[in-house]
Structure 1
């Protein structure tokens, strides 16, 4: 593991992926031992989305939305073409995903992830397949998109590809860290 300090700049690569057809798999079976539910938030407050964003993204240097104004995020979350789903199990959020259909025929899996305490319990593949099929369930969708980067979980890119996404381009970027961050090795 490599630790970087707040104020340091890190290089990373963003990979953009697409899925041009609904996958052939069916809705996944609920993982063994899961007693909770996947719930769609109805007009979620900004604080709730920010809490999920930070809980999931803290270990992966998710900080982009910290610069966004609450009003901008509230408008985005209030759109009928944006849906936030939270996996609640054992009484607390285990992870979330956010689907964005505002681009018409393309559904963007804008955010996806589990909190650190939920990783390794078999929830990730189940939740990702559920997110993918939920994205495709809306009439008129002809493409599903997602992006990940080398700051994300080391298995994120592989998992997206296993579920049917294909990389379409990559982009090199730099990020000034606003807090200490440890790069997880794959």
Structure 2
């Protein structure tokens, strides 16, 4: 079914959580081009929005465009918020944001891969790394993440594969910003 920008659709949001550190170890970087995971220090708003748009444009990620630059800057500058980028072959392949501002909870607030990087095993590597880094945040007793039916169809199974379980679901309506297949 083809949907058009402006169509209103029902979207199921699945809130997932993990209440203990996974037994699997921190994974090794998959073989291939030179790679590194880079934690940004005081990232500028434009950098975050570029990653956010590169990963989320096809999945209706729009909420951060509604926030003011000052609000986003404050979020990114908070010492309990971490933005990490997977660089491979000299360009960003994916990123995640950890938000440990809530007592005992570290949320994987954003996670994703750019389309050109999918299918190489990097998403599993990056998510497992994000999960371990979330558990490394002081005082963490629960790690959370959410996904919805507009996200990549492999998102929910990937979260479940690394140990998240669905805590609750909610259905909302959204007006699409882009055409979808």
Q: What is the DSSP-based 3-state SS (H/G/I as helix, E as strand, rest coil) of the residue aligned with 2:79? A: coil
**Partners of 1:3 and 1:57 in 2: CA distance:** 19
**Partners of 1:64 and 1:175 in 2: CA distance:** 12
For residue 34 of structure 1, report the CA deviation from its aligned partner: 3.8
Contact kept, 8 Å, 1:9 with 1:174, in 2: the verdict is yes
For residue 106 of structure 1, report the CA deviation from its aligned partner: 0.4
For residue 138 of structure 1, report the CA deviation from its aligned partner: 1.8
- For normalisation by structure 1, the TM-score amounts to 0.94
**Partners of 1:175 and 1:84 in 2: CA distance:** 27
Other-structure match for 1:174: 173
Contact kept, 8 Å, 1:22 with 1:136, in 2: the verdict is yes
Other-structure match for 2:128: 129
Contact kept, 8 Å, 1:61 with 1:181, in 2: the verdict is no
Q: Does residue 1:148 correspond to 2:147, yes or no?
A: yes
**Partners of 1:175 and 1:127 in 2: CA distance:** 29
Q: Does residue 1:13 correspond to 2:16, yes or no?
A: no
- For normalisation by structure 2, the TM-score amounts to 0.97
Other-structure match for 1:40: 39
Structure 1: runs of 5 or more not aligned: none
**Number of equivalences:** 181
Q: Does residue 1:79 correspond to 2:78, yes or no?
A: yes
Q: What is the DSSP-based 3-state SS (H/G/I as helix, E as strand, rest coil) of the residue aligned with 1:3? A: coil
**Partners of 2:126 and 2:33 in 1: CA distance:** 12
Q: What is the DSSP-based 3-state SS (H/G/I as helix, E as strand, rest coil) of the residue aligned with 2:126? A: helix
Other-structure match for 2:66: 67
Contact kept, 8 Å, 1:52 with 1:95, in 2: the verdict is yes
**Partners of 1:23 and 1:34 in 2: CA distance:** 28
Q: What is the DSSP-based 3-state SS (H/G/I as helix, E as strand, rest coil) of the residue aligned with 2:110? A: strand
**Partners of 1:97 and 1:161 in 2: CA distance:** 17
**Partners of 2:84 and 2:74 in 1: CA distance:** 17
For residue 90 of structure 1, report the CA deviation from its aligned partner: 1.1
Q: What is the DSSP-based 3-state SS (H/G/I as helix, E as strand, rest coil) of the residue aligned with 1:153? A: coil
1:106-125 CA deviation, whole Å, 9 max, x = no partner?
00000000000000011000
Other-structure match for 2:57: 58
Structure 2: runs of 5 or more not aligned: none
Contact kept, 8 Å, 1:96 with 1:114, in 2: the verdict is yes
Q: What is the DSSP-based 3-state SS (H/G/I as helix, E as strand, rest coil) of the residue aligned with 1:139? A: coil
